[in-house]
């Protein structure tokens, strides 16, 4: 018996915990799962072989490290969503013969498939239920996913016969670009698709599926190519998980700031200025209230405030490096002989201010804040309400300091962020530290010191953080801050970045204790990031029901009838005098209708005034938080508003 023959008879693979497992030669992932235990054999969806995900049916190579994938693995959802995309294509081909299929990948929360339907067929959201029903029949049938590998020529002939031109194009590209010699086909039921895989054992593993929406998409994202119909769906391992997902979507819809913005008189978006919000009176008040909280931090932490121009000579942007690195995102304008740029960032203006004076080391750290409006050219397709815009205000600041002062400064910025976020109801703040990217300026030593300073600042506060190696800006390492909102969604807000580059570019210096000129380190920091984006996050976090201190209108006075308007006006004036933000509903509507509308307006307090209240010089108070509070004097109500504020 030669060694070769022995090797073909038995193979040994290694389990995740390092245990060796001996199997007959040619054994598959399914065999391995069965050898480990019947429970795992049933639960197995796919197998990881030396780190690569494969079908259970594929034979295992000798010596491989293996791990069986079950529905407990985070990637398992992606796998069954890919399965579900194939089942959707199967159902679509059955219901709409002559449809051309293209591609159907899993995506973050589900999957999609792009189809070219025959010209006489129109598929819209009203058809999704029908497609879903057909999918369920195939899922119940637990059709196995069967793979075969064929030559590109054979696959091309097969798809050409079926009139599947897109598949033919895909295979031709694979041959041309990657020089593939075989392609894999996956069959489920009567449907066979070009696909790299892997797939689960059968369609039966998709426990819950839902088709969600229909959209248009160009073939390969190319506007000159065919417009296709994209159907989005999602799949889960249980009906319960699917329901929880649908519930989250409903909640997110109800909180959508793009809907609440106009409804609550906060802001509006207009076709005349895409990506540039119009702030309405309530929204402008909200921005002022947010700004006031930032101002408190500025005063507390020794920041000075400046305002610099929005439009500056294009030469400045050459000097700052923005022309070279950021030109595509900038707006330009001309007047007379000169060319100008509308600022996308506030830093160059701040550097001109710093550089206009001689500075002594005794002034450092010099902390200079600016609520600076910036404009960035973004493609219209990526704009999204207040979250992705073309014009916004940064709560920006630049700190000029010595290298030795960096750690303490950064720790102070972290503390400001903690206090500020807690004030707005965000307790769960995630921190990421990003280090030197491949393309960067400055010496390795400088980077090491800067990264060490940031780490030291984070560690001195016992703060957990995630490290993103190579994700820093080209001019220095940075720390990003993320808040988690009421729906568990994470939003990046604040940032703190070290910069060796700009002080060089602007030849900034200070006079040290040694009477020599020294180069300061520059820290760019924004606590909230974009004020408007933060407002959008707050609107969704609170679903428009702001806490009393943050509500643009804290109370609304509701006269029972027209003859109470005068008393209502007097009450409102007294409240305003005491600093309460108040409105009156003077319409000639029933008080019931006024209360219902006030509910929709999400005011923290409703103050009903009729004969009884007028005679007793009180208001009948209804608090959103606490329910009916009964009759109160204006003075007591003012006290309640201010108690609620703290
Ligand atoms: Zn596929
Ligand atoms: Zn800056």
Of all ligands present, the nearest one to the C-alpha of 350 is: 2
For residue 134, give the H/E element and its range. helix 128-140
d(CA 187, CA 462): 54
CB atoms within 10 A of CB 384: 14
Of all ligands present, the nearest one to the C-alpha of 522 is: 2
The rounded Å distance from CA 457 to ligand 2 centre is 20
Helix (H, G, I), strand (E, B) or coil at 34: helix
The rounded Å distance from CA 502 to ligand 2 centre is 9
For residue 643, give the H/E element and its range. helix 634-645
The rounded Å distance from CA 396 to ligand 2 centre is 7
Of all ligands present, the nearest one to the C-alpha of 320 is: 2
d(CA 69, CA 82): 15
pLDDT of 473 reads 85
Of all ligands present, the nearest one to the C-alpha of 497 is: 2
The rounded Å distance from CA 137 to ligand 1 centre is 20
pLDDT at 495 over 80: yes
The rounded Å distance from CA 113 to ligand 1 centre is 10
Q: 480 CB contacts (<8 Å, ≥6 apart)? A: 431, 432, 434, 492, 494, 495
Of all ligands present, the nearest one to the C-alpha of 499 is: 2
The rounded Å distance from CA 445 to ligand 2 centre is 23
pLDDT category at 6 given cuts 50, 70, 90 is very low
pLDDT of 9 reads 83
- Average pLDDT over the chain reads 94
pLDDT category at 223 given cuts 50, 70, 90 is confident
Of the listed ranges 180-184, 349-353, 381-385, the least confidently predicted one is: 381-385
pLDDT of 569 reads 97
pLDDT at 1 over 60: no
d(CA 182, CA 196): 11
d(CA 342, CA 349): 12
Closest-CA residue to 553 (of 348, 281, 299, 308): 281
Which tens digits make up the pLDDT trace of 610-640? 999 999 999 999 998 888 999 999 999 999 9
The rounded Å distance from CA 307 to ligand 2 centre is 14
pLDDT of 184 reads 97
Of all ligands present, the nearest one to the C-alpha of 197 is: 1
Which tens digits make up the pLDDT trace of 153-167? 999 999 999 999 999
The rounded Å distance from CA 227 to ligand 1 centre is 21
Helix extents (H) in 119-215: 128-140, 152-161, 165-173
Q: Which residues pair with 521 in a beta bridge?
A: 401
Of all ligands present, the nearest one to the C-alpha of 374 is: 2
d(CA 410, CA 382): 32
The rounded Å distance from CA 175 to ligand 1 centre is 18
Residues counted in the chain? 646
pLDDT of 8 reads 60
pLDDT at 395 over 90: yes
pLDDT of 645 reads 63
The rounded Å distance from CA 199 to ligand 1 centre is 8
Q: Which residues pair with 485 in a beta bridge?
A: none
Of the listed ranges 104-108, 338-342, 472-476, 601-605, the least confidently predicted one is: 472-476
Distance set, CA 247 to CA 240, 242, 251, 399, 487 (Å): 10, 9, 6, 45, 11
Closest-CA residue to 67 (of 103, 117, 16): 16
pLDDT of 611 reads 96
Of all ligands present, the nearest one to the C-alpha of 113 is: 1
The rounded Å distance from CA 194 to ligand 1 centre is 7
Read off the pLDDT of each residue in 126-147 and give the average, rounded to a whole number.
97
pLDDT of 646 reads 52
The rounded Å distance from CA 251 to ligand 1 centre is 32
Q: How many percent of the chain have pLDDT more than 70?
A: 98
The rounded Å distance from CA 498 to ligand 2 centre is 10
* Catalytic residue numbers, as ranges: 347, 376, 394, 396, 398, 478, 524
Contact 235, 86 (CB under 8 A): no
**617-633 burial, b if ≥16 CB within 10 A, otherwise e?**
ebbbbbbeeeeebeebe
Single pTM value for the model:
0.79
Read off the pLDDT of each residue in 207-229 and give the average, rounded to a whole number.
93
Read off the pLDDT of each residue in 419-448 and give the average, rounded to a whole number.
90
Which tens digits make up the pLDDT trace of 238-283? 999 999 999 988 988 999 999 999 999 999 999 999 999 999 999 9
Which tens digits make up the pLDDT trace of 116-135? 999 999 999 999 999 999 99
Which residues keep their CB under 5 angstroms from ion ligand 2?
A: 347, 524
The rounded Å distance from CA 118 to ligand 1 centre is 22
Distance set, CA 177 to CA 149, 164, 168, 227, 633 (Å): 19, 20, 14, 24, 79
The rounded Å distance from CA 524 to ligand 2 centre is 4
Helix (H, G, I), strand (E, B) or coil at 211: strand
């Amino acid at each position: 018996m030669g060694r070769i023959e022995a090797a073909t008879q038995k193979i040994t693979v290694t389990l995740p915990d390092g245990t060796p497992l001996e199997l007959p030669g040619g054994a598959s992932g399914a065999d391995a799962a069965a050898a480990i235990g019947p429970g795992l054999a049933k639960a197995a969806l796919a197998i990881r072989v030396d780190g690569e995900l494969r079908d259970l049916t594929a034979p295992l190579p000798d010596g491989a490290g293996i791990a069986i994938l079950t529905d407990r693995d985070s990637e398992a959802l992606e796998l069954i969503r890919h399965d579900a995309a194939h089942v959707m294509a199967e159902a679509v081909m059955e219901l709409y013969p002559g449809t051309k299929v293209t591609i159907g990948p899993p995506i973050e929360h589900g999957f999609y498939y792009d189809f070219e339907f025959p010209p006489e067929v129109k598929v819209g959201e009203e058809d999704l239920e029908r497609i879903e029903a057909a999918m369920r029949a195939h899922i119940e049938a637990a059709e196995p996913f069967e793979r075969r590998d064929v030559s590109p020529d054979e696959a091309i002939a097969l798809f050409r016969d079926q009139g599947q031109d897109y598949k033919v194009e895909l295979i031709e590209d694979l041959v041309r670009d990657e020089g593939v010699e075989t392609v894999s086909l996956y069959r489920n039921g009567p449907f066979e698709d070009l696909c790299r895989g892997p797939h689960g054992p059968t369609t039966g593993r998709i426990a819950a599926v839902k088709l969600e929406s229909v959209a248009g998409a160009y073939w390969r994202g190319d506007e000159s190519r065919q417009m296709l119909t994209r159907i989005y769906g999602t799949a889960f391992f249980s009906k319960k998980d699917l329901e929880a997902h649908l519930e989250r979507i409903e909640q997110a819809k109800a909180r959508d700031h793009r809907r609440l913005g106009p409804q609550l008189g906060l802001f509006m978006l207009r076709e005349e200025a895409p990506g540039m919000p119009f702030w309405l009176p309530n929204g402008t008040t909200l921005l002022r209230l947010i700004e006031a909280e930032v101002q408190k931090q500025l005063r507390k932490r020794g920041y000075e405030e400046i305002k610099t121009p929005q439009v500056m000579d294009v030469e400045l942007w050459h000097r700052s490096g923005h022309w070279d690195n950021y030109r595509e995102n900038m707006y330009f304008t001309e007047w007379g002989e000169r060319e100008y740029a509308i600022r996308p960032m506030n830093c160059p203006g701040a550097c001109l201010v710093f550089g206009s004076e001689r500075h002594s080391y005794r002034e450092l750290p010099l902390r200079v804040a600016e609520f600076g409006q910036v404009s960035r050219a973004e493609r219209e397709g990526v704009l999204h309400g207040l979250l992705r815009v073309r014009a916004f205000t940064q709560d920006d600041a630049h700190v000029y300091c010595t290298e030795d002062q960096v750690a303490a400064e950064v720790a102070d910025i972290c503390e400001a962020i903690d206090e500020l976020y807690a004030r707005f109801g965000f307790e769960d703040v995630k921190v990421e530290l990003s280090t030197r990217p491949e393309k960067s300026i400055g010496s390795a030593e400088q980077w090491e010191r800067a990264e060490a300073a940031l780490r030291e600042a984070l560690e001195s506060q016992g703060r957990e953080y995630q490290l993103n190696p190579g994700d820093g800006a080209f001019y220095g390492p940075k720390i990003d801050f993320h808040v988690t909102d009421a729906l568990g969604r994470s939003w990046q807000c604040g940032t703190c970045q070290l910069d060796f580059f700009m002080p060089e570019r602007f030849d900034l210096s200070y006079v040290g204790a040694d009477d020599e000129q020294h180069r300061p380190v520059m820290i760019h920091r924004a606590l909230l990031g974009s004020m408007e984006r933060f407002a959008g996050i707050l609107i969704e976090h609170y679903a428009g029901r702001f806490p009393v201190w943050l509500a643009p209108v804290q109370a609304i006075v509701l006269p029972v009838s027209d003859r109470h308007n005068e008393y209502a006006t007097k009450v409102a004036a007294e409240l305003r005098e005491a600093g309460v933000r108040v409105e009156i509903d003077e319409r000639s509507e029933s008080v019931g209708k006024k209360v219902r509308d006030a509910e929709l307006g999400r005011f923290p307090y409703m103050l009903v005034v009729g004969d009884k209240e007028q005679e007793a010089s009180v208001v009948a108070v209804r608090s959103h938080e606490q329910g009916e509070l009964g009759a109160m004097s204006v003075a007591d109500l003012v006290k309640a508003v201010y108690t609620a504020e703290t």
